[in-house]
């Protein structure tokens, strides 16, 4: 059958246009999908501000008592500010009540030889009850942390940061507590922690966050998963 040049050109142009449209659609859809997975939902930020602010106000007498106890029982400031890896691997300073002596090396506790030697007189109690974590509400209100998310790595935990980055977890806002914390906390090896963090990223929702917060409270009351 004879086909005119005009018909062939129109068919080619039509095919090219359809292909370009599909390419543009894929390019426009891909970032939107990734953003929906990694961006902070409005409901999550509202939960952080409302619940985080409420806890901070209600716990203010306890916060002042802990701060005074740290200052009285050991030399140095009440708060210890550590460099942590946040969303998109940006560094930020995170506060905790100081539970270690001021001359303690700046490495993860489990990497210390005999870490109990560095504990302050009330350091073990603060860690066992998780009261040392309360100042991190400051970071939640500032937007550096969420109440729930992967625990922020220290700036020099290269193995943990690299593994999280490979899994895309660096796109998430880190949290005071997370899915890994309620499934083992200090007892978990790094690959296992990252696996739990990845499970959280895949299933994250407001309901899951509330479940993790409830489980965290239960584990804190039972002092589970704390090694030092």
Q: Do strands 91-97 and 146-148 pair parallel, antiparallel, or not at all (unpaired)?
A: unpaired
Backbone angles phi, psi at 101, to 5 degrees: -65, 155
0.85 surpassed by pTM: no
pLDDT value for 40 = 62
* Annotated domain spans of the chain: 41-222
Residue 13: both structure tokens together: 């142009």
Number of C-beta neighbours around residue 140 at 10 A = 23
Q: How confident is the chain (228 residues) per 10-residue block, as mean pLDDT?
A: 44 44 43 47 90 96 97 96 96 96 80 82 93 96 96 93 97 96 86 96 94 93 64
Task: Please tell me the predicted confidence (pLDDT) of residue 3.
Answer: 46
Cβ–Cβ under 8 Å, residues 38 and 171 = yes
Question: What is the longest distance spanned by two Cα atoms in the chain?
Answer: 97
- Measured over the CA atoms of residue 194, residue 198, residue 201 and residue 204, the dihedral's sign is negative
Would you state the pLDDT for residue 225?
56
What's the pLDDT at 37?
47
| Amino acid 170: pLDDT | 96
Q: Give me the pLDDT at residue 103, please.
A: 85
């Amino acid at each position: 059958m004879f086909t005119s040049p005009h018909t062939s050109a129109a068919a080619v142009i039509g095919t090219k246009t359809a292909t370009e449209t599909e390419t543009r659609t894929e390019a426009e859809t891909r970032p939107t999908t990734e953003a929906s997975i990694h961006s902070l939902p409005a409901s999550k930020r509202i939960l952080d501000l409302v619940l985080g602010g409420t806890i901070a106000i209600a716990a203010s007498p306890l916060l002042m008592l802990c701060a005074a106890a740290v200052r009285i029982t050991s030399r140095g400031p009440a708060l210890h500010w550590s460099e942590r890896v946040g969303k998109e691997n940006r560094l930020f300073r995170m506060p905790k009540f100081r539970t270690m002596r001021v001359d303690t090396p700046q490495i993860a506790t489990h990497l210390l030889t005999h870490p109990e030697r560095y504990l302050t007189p009330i350091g073990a109690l603060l860690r066992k009850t998780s009261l040392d974590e309360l100042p991190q509400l400051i970071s939640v209100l500032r937007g550096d942390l969420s109440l729930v998310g992967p625990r922020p790595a220290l700036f020099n935990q290269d193995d943990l940061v690299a593994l999280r980055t490979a899994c895309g977890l660096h796109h998430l806002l880190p949290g005071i507590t997370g899915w890994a914390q309620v499934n083992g906390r200090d007892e978990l090896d790094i690959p296992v922690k990252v696996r739990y963090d990845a499970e959280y990223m895949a299933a994250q929702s407001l309901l899951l966050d509330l479940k993790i917060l409830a489980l965290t409270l239960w584990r804190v009351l039972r002092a589970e998963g704390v090694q030092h």
